[in-house]
Amino acid sequence: MAREMILVLDFGGQYNQLIARRVRENNVYCEVHTALSIEKIRELNPVGIILTGGPQSVYKTDSLLPPVEIFNLGVPILGICYGAQAMAKILGGEVKSAQISEYGKTEVEILSESKLFADVEKKSVAWMSHTDRIFSAPENFIVTASTKDCPIAAMEDATKNFYAVQFHPEVVHTAEGMKIFSNFVNICGCRRDWKMSSFVKDTVAGLKNKIGGGKVLCALSGGVDSSVAAVLLSKAVGKNLTCVFVDHGLLRKNEAAEVEQVFSHFDLNFIKIDAGERFLNKLRGVIEPERKRKIIGEEFIRVFEEISKEIGAVDYLVQGTIYPDVIESGLGKSAVIKSHHNVGGLPDFVDFKEIIEPLRLLFKDEVRQAGRELGLPENLVNRQPFPGPGLGIRIIGEITAKKIKIVQESDAIFREEVAKGGIQNDLSQYFAALTNMRSVGVMGDGRTYDFAIALRAVLTSDFMTAESAQIPWEILNIVANRIVNEVKGVNRVLYDCTSKPPATIEFE
Ligand code: XMP
Catalytic status, residue 33: no
Alpha carbons 162 and 188: distance in angstroms, whole number: 11
Of the pLDDT bands very low, low, confident and very high (cuts 50, 70, 90), residue 341 is: very low
Q: Which of 223, 225, 177, 1 is nearest to 80 (CA)?
A: 177
Of the pLDDT bands very low, low, confident and very high (cuts 50, 70, 90), residue 340 is: very low
- What average pLDDT score do residues 404-423 get? 97
426 lines ligand 1 (CB under 6 A): no
Query: Is the link from the previous residue into 138 a cis peptide, with omega within 30 of 0?
Result: no
Of the pLDDT bands very low, low, confident and very high (cuts 50, 70, 90), residue 333 is: very low
Catalytic status, residue 170: yes
Tell the residue nearest (CA) to atom 14 of ligand 1.
387
Mind listing the pLDDT tens digit for each residue in 213-251? Answer: 999 999 898 889 999 999 999 999 999 999 999 999 999
Residue 506 Cα to ligand 1 midpoint, Å, equals 6
Alpha carbons 414 and 479: distance in angstroms, whole number: 6
Q: Are 15 and 170 in contact (CB under 8 A)?
A: yes
Mind listing the pLDDT tens digit for each residue in 182-208? Answer: 999 999 999 999 999 989 999 999 999
Ligand 1: atom nearest CA of 223 is 15
To test the pocket of ligand 1, the residue of 321, 459, 506, 507 to mutate (highest count of ligand atoms within 8 Å of its CB) is 506
Mind listing the pLDDT tens digit for each residue in 416-475? Answer: 999 999 999 899 999 999 999 999 999 888 999 999 999 999 998 778 788 999 999 999
Query: Is 3 strand, coil or helix?
Result: coil
Residue 419 Cα to ligand 1 midpoint, Å, equals 22
- Helices in 11-104 by DSSP H: which ranges? 16-25, 38-44, 82-90
Determine what percent of the chain is predicted with pLDDT higher than 70: 95
Alpha carbons 8 and 155: distance in angstroms, whole number: 19
Mind listing the pLDDT tens digit for each residue in 60-85? Answer: 999 999 999 999 999 999 999 999 99
Q: Are 484 and 442 in contact (CB under 8 A)?
A: no
Burial group, residue 468, by CB count within 10 angstroms (0-12, 13-18, 19+): middle
* Amino acid sitting at position 261: Q
Alpha carbons 222 and 236: distance in angstroms, whole number: 20
Query: Is 48 strand, coil or helix?
Result: strand
Ligand 1: atom nearest CA of 466 is 5
Selected catalytic residue, list 4, 102, 170, 366: 170
What pLDDT does 17 receive? 85
How far from 28 is each of 9, 107, 120, 195, 499, CA to CA, in Å?
16, 29, 21, 8, 39
Mind listing the pLDDT tens digit for each residue in 371-383? Answer: 999 999 998 998 8
Burial group, residue 136, by CB count within 10 angstroms (0-12, 13-18, 19+): middle
To test the pocket of ligand 1, the residue of 296, 328, 341 to mutate (highest count of ligand atoms within 8 Å of its CB) is 341
Q: Which of 138, 139, 140, 137 is nearest to 153 (CA)?
A: 137
In sequence order, what are the residues at sequence separation of 6 or more whose Cβ sits closer than 8 angstroms to the Cβ of residue 202?
A: none
Alpha carbons 79 and 87: distance in angstroms, whole number: 6
* Amino acid sitting at position 360: R
Residue 341 Cα to ligand 1 midpoint, Å, equals 7
State the pTM of this model. Answer: 0.77
477 lines ligand 1 (CB under 6 A): no
Strand ranges, E, within 221-287: 241-247, 269-274
Catalytic status, residue 168: yes
Residue 445 Cα to ligand 1 midpoint, Å, equals 41
506 lines ligand 1 (CB under 6 A): yes
390 lines ligand 1 (CB under 6 A): no
Q: Residue 332: pLDDT above 50?
A: no
Q: 35 — alpha (psi -120 to 50), left (phi > 0) or beta? A: left
Residue 399 Cα to ligand 1 midpoint, Å, equals 18
Q: Are 79 and 116 in contact (CB under 8 A)?
A: no
Q: How far apart are the first and last CA of the chain?
A: 54
Alpha carbons 44 and 400: distance in angstroms, whole number: 58
Selected catalytic residue, list 4, 30, 150, 168: 168
To test the pocket of ligand 1, the residue of 505, 507, 508 to mutate (highest count of ligand atoms within 8 Å of its CB) is 505
* Amino acid sitting at position 375: G
